[in-house]
């Protein structure tokens, strides 16, 4: 770790969503500038547009002219495109999707080349960013390939609750066929390693949710929990790992059983994210575990319905910045244990 403050790259996300607004609001907090060197990837013109639209006067920054030469006492802005982008707050457009990808690509290249210490990504519109260059379902899949990882874990993180997903952005109709013993074992290993390396848990205790209602009711409601999930849990328990389940998801969250565990593995997207956002929407963030780099994001989307209306809360984006810095420090100064 260098003696300088961690350099946190922050992409603006879709210029027509709430990304620029929450980035400006979060970085207006002087505590962030005291702890980190923020580097915003997007466009100074887009930032100026939203400053005026939102009537935010006190937001000063330095434009980066030479790659890697940052002002460590200022917010830095990297202009990722030269052409003028028409900003239409609240309206998804192909031009905005292209701009969001350009900012993301530039930030990832700088992170890979060592000009950044961590990356925070503001929300993208998955349909508008989709192209030949971005044939992915979201940030997680793109980052996993870009940084050469065999696999990764979408890990929703707050102080009280940490939820990882076995399957991510896939139709519910495909979930069952994707729940193999190998896939669940891989995701559990990614979660366990991340809880140790990124959050300081010495021997993390992990709960595994069942796929079906009542975790299958001993095979009465589907066979996946009996034949696949339970077998993985038992094998790992026999090897001395603190893995428990499968638990019925409704009762598990309804009874606050999640407070007894360091991590929770959900079988599919909504099974994990609905309770997570209900419990930790304001302070929850999305972390991509299993990458050689640190990447976080807020736990919300582009929210086009309120874009440009000065209604978006920056709390999750701010937390994502703090978490990125914390995880970077855990990886470079692994002295804390839980």
Domain boundaries, the chain: 1-149+291-338, 151-290
Q: What is the pLDDT of residue 337?
A: 67
Question: Residues 267, 273, 278, 281: is their CA dihedral positive or negative?
Answer: positive
CATH number among 3.40.50.620, 3.40.50.2020, 3.40.718.10, 3.40.470.10, domain 1-149+291-338 = 3.40.718.10
Give the SS3 label for residue 48. helix
**pLDDT at residue 125 is higher than 60:** yes
Mean pLDDT of 308-324: 96
Half-sphere exposure at residue 140, Cβ-oriented, CA atoms within 13 angstroms: 21
Is a pLDDT exceeding 70 seen at residue 205? yes
pLDDT at site 164: 98
- Matching CATH topology for 1-149+291-338 and 151-290? yes
- Average pLDDT for residues 267-290, to the nearest whole number? 95
- Mean pLDDT, residues 56-83 taken together: 93
> What pLDDT sits at residue 1?
39
Q: What is the mean pLDDT of residues 80-98?
A: 94
- Residue 2: the pLDDT is 44
Question: 112: which 2 tokens?
Answer: 């890979």
Q: Which of 20-34, 161-175, 278-292, 324-338 has the lowest mean pLDDT?
A: 324-338
DSSP state of 248: P
Banded model confidence at residue 297, pLDDT cuts 50, 70, 90? very high
Q: Is 158 helix (H, G, I), strand (E, B) or coil?
A: coil
Q: What share of the chain in percent tops pLDDT 90?
A: 93
What is this structure's pTM? 0.93
CA 81/CA 75 separation, integer angstroms: 19
CATH of segment(s) 151-290: 3.40.718.10
Q: Has residue 208 got a pLDDT over 80? A: yes
pLDDT given at position 335: 61
What is the overall mean pLDDT for the chain? 95
Give one DSSP letter per residue of 250-303, joined into a string.
HHHHHTTGGGG-SEEEESSHHHHHHHHHHHHTTT-EEEEETSSS-EEEESS---
pLDDT at residue 171 greater than cutoff 80: yes
Is the confidence at residue 178, as pLDDT, over 60? yes
CA–chain centroid gap for 294, Å, is 10
Q: Is the pLDDT of residue 114 over 90?
A: yes
Average pLDDT over residues 4-28: 96
pLDDT reported for residue 334? 61
pLDDT of residue 57: 84
Q: Which stretches of the chain are assigned E, i.e. beta strand? A: 7-11, 37-42, 62-63, 76-79, 118-121, 153-157, 162-165, 206-209, 243-247, 263-266, 285-289, 295-298
Q: What percent of the chain has pLDDT over 70?
A: 98
Q: How far apart are the C-alpha atoms of 304 and 90, rounded to whole Å?
A: 4
With a cut of 70, say whether residue 284 has pLDDT above it. yes
């Amino acid at each position: 770790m260098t003696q300088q403050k961690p350099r946190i790259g922050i992409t603006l996300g879709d210029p027509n969503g709430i990304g620029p607004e929450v980035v400006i609001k979060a970085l207006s907090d002087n505590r962030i500038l005291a702890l980190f060197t923020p580097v915003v990837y997007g466009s100074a013109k887009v930032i100026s547009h939203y400053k005026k639209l939102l009537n935010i006067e006190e937001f000063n920054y330095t434009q980066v002219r030479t790659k890697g030469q940052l002002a460590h006492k200022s917010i830095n802005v990297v202009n990722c495109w030269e052409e003028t982008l028409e900003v239409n707050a609240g309206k998804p457009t192909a031009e905005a999707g292209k701009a969001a990808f350009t900012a993301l690509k530039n930030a990832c290249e700088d992170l890979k080349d060592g000009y950044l210490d961590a990356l925070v990504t503001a929300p993208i519109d998955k349909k508008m960013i989709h192209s030949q260059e971005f044939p992915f379902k979201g940030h997680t899949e793109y980052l996993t390939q870009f940084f050469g990882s065999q696999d990764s874990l979408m890990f929703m993180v707050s102080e009280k609750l940490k939820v990882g997903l076995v399957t991510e952005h896939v139709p519910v109709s495909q979930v069952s066929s994707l729940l193999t013993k190998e896939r669940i074992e891989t995701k559990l290993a990614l979660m366990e390693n991340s809880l140790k390396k990124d959050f300081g848990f010495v021997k993390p205790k992990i709960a595994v949710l069942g796929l079906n209602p009542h975790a299958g009711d001993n095979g009465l409601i589907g066979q996946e929990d009996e034949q696949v999930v339970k077998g993985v849990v038992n094998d790992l328990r026999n090897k001395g790992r603190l893995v428990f389940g499968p638990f019925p998801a409704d009762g598990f969250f309804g009874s606050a059983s999640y407070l007894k565990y360091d991590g929770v593995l959900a079988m599919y997207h909504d099974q994990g994210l609905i309770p997570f956002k209900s419990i930790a929407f304001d302070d929850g963030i999305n972390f991509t575990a299993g990458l050689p780099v640190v990447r976080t994001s807020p736990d919300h989307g582009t929210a086009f319905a309120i874009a440009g209306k000065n209604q978006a809360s920056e709390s999750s984006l701010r937390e994502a910045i703090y978490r990125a810095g914390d995880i970077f420090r855990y990886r470079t100064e692994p002295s804390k244990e839980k």
